[in-house]
Amino acid sequence: MTVFPTGASVMFPFEKFSDVTIYQFGHMYCVPGYSFGPFEWNHYLFHFIHAGKGVLHSTDSDGKVHEYPLKAGQGFMIWPGQTNAYRADVDEPWEYTWVEFDGLLAQELVVQTGLDCKNPVYDANKMENQGKMAVAIKDIATNADLSPLMLVGKMYMFLDLLVTSSVRRNVANTESPKRYHIRRAIAYVHRHYREDISVQDIADHCNVNRSYLSRIFKQTLNISPTQFLIDCRIKKACELLMDSELSIGEISAMVGYPNQLNFSRAFKRELGVAPYRWKISRP
């Protein structure tokens, strides 16, 4: 007889939010030895362990797989495009809550936690923050009946706690130049994605060489500045397609594509379907 873990997973209407959005969340009581993966996720995925033990097998940015024994009070982050697997302990299977999220601000916020593909394990900087983390993430996972806006608000509160309570964030007292430039670049894109900007414009704003900017984006966020700009524009376009009656041409101009044909090509390249078809397929 196959025995499955007990818990629930809830999907979320993510299309309505672009800065930070939730894709799914859940709370699981695992049976002894329960495992998941290897699997490649499309978005950020954070687990917080409430009880028990388990092991994370995480692939770093160099393609090497590392094993991390984990226990109650810890957590672990999974990055978009990263392959991972995790398994509950046989004697003390873990109970955990998870939330899958993304958005225009997600990369910047995750960078601020100090976690990365080579250091995916969350530890709280104070014992009291373990309890706060447990409450904050359960507050999302156990309130599926709340409005999407309320849940996104709780997600912002959780992410703020994740950033401020991460022991890795507090290792250094000053922000590294690399992360400073990344933060400035992301903020510039968020303010100017509607305009005809280029990677060179972003680099000039940050007072760095274009090649250096591309390198640190790839190292830190595993994405190029060009792709980050495209993602920002396409996510905003999806929001406008869902929540407005604007024409495709009007939306195209509002997200930095003066040429509607270029916008339609970029949209289809990223999402596999033309903007109009994407809009009419939404519930």
Whole-number percent of the chain with pLDDT over 90: 54
Residue-wise burial string across 105-127, b where 16 or more C-beta atoms lie within 10 A, e elsewhere: bbbbbbbbbbbbbeebbbebeee
Please, what is the end-to-end C-alpha distance for the chain in angstroms?
Answer: 38
Q: What is the pLDDT of residue 191?
A: 87
Q: What's the average model confidence in pLDDT over 81-87?
A: 92
Flag whether pLDDT at 31 surpasses 90.
yes
Q: What does the alpha-carbon distance between residue 188 and residue 272 come to, in Å, rounded to a whole number?
A: 28
Give the single-character DSSP code of 222. S
**Predicted local distance difference test score (pLDDT) of residue 4:** 37
**CA geometry: angle at 76 spanning 230 and 141, to 5°?**
85
CB 75 within 8 A of CB 89: no
**DSSP character at residue 171:** S
CA dihedral of 102, 104, 210, 251, whole degrees rounded to 10: 130
- Quote the pLDDT of residue 62: 80
Query: Rounded mean pLDDT of 235-240?
Result: 89
More confident residue, 278 or 170: 278
- Residue 77, CA distances (Å) to 3, 120, 192, 215, 251 in order: 26, 5, 30, 23, 34
Q: What are residue 86's phi and psi, to 5 degrees?
A: -145, 150
Report how far residue 192's alpha carbon sits from residue 202's, in angstroms, rounded to the nearest whole number: 10
User: Looking at the predicted structure, is the pLDDT value of residue 76 above 90?
Assistant: yes
For position 61, what pLDDT does the model report?
77
Local confidence band at 219 (pLDDT 50, 70, 90 cut-offs): confident
pLDDT (average), residues 37-56 = 93
Among residues 41, 44, 102, 94, which one has the least CA distance to residue 68?
94
Percent of the chain, pLDDT > 70?
90
Instruction: Report d(CA 113, CA 91) in Å as an integer.
Output: 31
pLDDT at position 7, please? 55
pLDDT at 12: 46
On the CB side of 280, how many CA atoms lie within 13 Å of its CA? Answer: 6
Inform me whether the pLDDT recorded for 14 exceeds 80: no
pLDDT in tens, 111-159: 889 898 889 999 999 899 999 999 999 999 888 888 888 888 899 999 9
Q: Report pTM.
A: 0.62
Peptide bond into 120 cis (omega under 30): no
Q: In which element (H, E) is residue 66 found?
A: strand 65-71
Is residue 228 within 8 A of residue 186, CB to CB? The reply is: yes
Q: Among 15-24, 46-55, 144-153, whose mean pLDDT is lowest?
A: 15-24
Q: Evaluate if residue 171 carries a pLDDT over 70.
A: no
What is the spatial distance between Cα 120 and Cα 126, in angstroms, rounded to a whole number? 18
Alpha-carbon gap, residue 100 to 43, rounded angstroms: 6
- Pairing assessment for the beta strands 6-11 and 21-29 based on DSSP bridges: antiparallel
Predicted confidence band of residue 5 (pLDDT cuts 50, 70, 90)? low
